Copies of this chain bind each other. A is one copy, B any other.
C-alpha cells in the first residue's frame, strides 16, 4: 500500500497550499534560469536512473490507480492509457535521457548587431519562468513535461488527472530524487498533491502572478475549459482537421502511399488526415482507387456527389463533415476544381494545423506551401509527421494550434523567451 492520498478539507487550505506552490516555483525558477546545462542534464540522467530504481513502487501505485479506475467503470482504452508496466517506465526513462541529450536553448544568442553609436545588441534565449501543466490520466506526462521544463530552465507545476494521482506521485518522487542528486531545488518540478478541482481554477488564475504560461494536455473539454478560464497565456491544442490534397500532377503511387499513411497509420493522432481533396483533373484516374483503398482498409468514406459517383460505398457527406476531426477510421472526400479551390476549402473548413499536397509539379507545391496558412504544410509527405519527435525536437510538450509564440510542435526552444543584452562604452541617448 502506498501512502494515502492527502486530503485537504477547508477551501482556505487549498488556497494556501496552491499559493505556496506558486511562490516556491517562482523561487526555483530563479535558480533554474541560471543553472548550467551540465547540471540540468545531470539531474535528467539521475531522474531516469531513479525511475528505473523505483519502478516497483511506481508500479504498485499504478496498480491502485488502475484498480480504482476499473471499479469506476472506465473504458478499456482509458485503462490502457492509465496503465504502466516495466516497458513503459523504461520508455519514460529513455525519454528523460533523450531530453538530456538535446541542446540547451538557454543562453543561445539568436541575433547580434552593432548600432551606429557603437553599442552592440544581442538577443538571447532565456526561460519563460514557471509553466503550469494541466493534464489528464496519462501518468507519463509527469516525467515528459517535467523534463522539458527543466531542460529549458523553467519551473513546472504539474496537475495531473485525479485518476492517476498515485502513479504521478510515485513518478514525481523519482524526479525529486534526480533533482536532489544534481543539487537543484526540488521545487523545480512540483506536483499538485491533491485531487481537489479548485486547484485547477487557481492555476488558471495564475497563482498570484507565479505562473507564466499554462499548457493543457488532454481532450477538447479540458482544453476548452483552460482556454475559457485562463488569465495567463495558454499553449493549447484544439484540433487537427488535416487535409491531403491530390493535385492534378500527383502520381497515383505516391498518392496511395501518403493518403494511406496520413489516414490509417494511427487514426487518433492530431496529424491524422481527416479530409481528402482531389483535383477534378485527377479525379478520373485517382479518385476511385484511393477511395477503394481506404474502404478496403476499413475506413469509412463520406463524400460529395463526385466521390459517391466514383464508388457506391461512399456515404453522403454533410456540411459538418468538412470541418470534423474524426480521430477515427473515417475520412471526408471531395473533388475540387483546381489548387485554388483546394486552398480556399482548407482555409474555410480546416483548423490551420497540418495540410499536405501530393504533386509532381514543383510550382503547384510551392504555391500550396506558400498560400496555405497552417502551422505545418507538407509536399509529398504524410501529415502524420506533425510531431515534435519527427521534427527532431527530441520531445514535445504538445502541439500548439494558436498563432502566438508557439505554433506547431512545442519543444524546448519554444519554452523559452528572450531578452536583449546591450553592451556600451558610455552611450547616452541624444
Contact = CB atoms under 8 A, between A and B. Distances in A.
A134 to B, nearest CB: 17
A198 interface: no
A362 to B, nearest CB: 9
A419 B374 contact: yes
Given A254-B426, A377-B419, A377-B422, A115 B392 contact: yes
A265 B429 contact: yes
A382 interface: yes
Given A119-B381, A382-B428, A382-B429, A420 B403 contact: no
Copies in the assembly, this chain: 2
Interface residues of A, number: 60
23 contacts: A115-B390, A119-B381, A121-B391, A121-B392, A257-B426, A257-B428, A258-B426, A261-B428, A365-B423, A369-B421, A369-B423, A376-B420, A378-B424, A379-B423, A379-B424, A380-B424, A381-B422, A381-B424, A382-B427, A382-B428, A390-B429, A391-B420, A407-B417
Contact of A385 (B390, B403, B408, B427): B427
Contacts of A67: none
A408 to B, nearest CB: 5
Contacts of A417: 403-404, 407
A233 interface: yes
A67 to B, nearest CB: 35
A257 B121 CA distance: 20
A326 interface: no
A43 interface: no
A239 to B, nearest CB: 14
A344 to B, nearest CB: 10
A382 B430 CA distance: 10
Given A380-B424, A391-B420, A403 B121 contact: no
Interface string A12-28: 00000000000000000
A64 interface: no
A426 to B, nearest CB: 5
Contacts of A407: 417-419
Contact of A347 (B30, B115, B385, B422): B30
A254 B119 CA distance: 15
Contacts of A33: 373
Contacts of A113: 392
A370 interface: yes
Interface string A121-155: 10000101100000000000000000000000000
A34 interface: yes
A429 B373 CA distance: 23
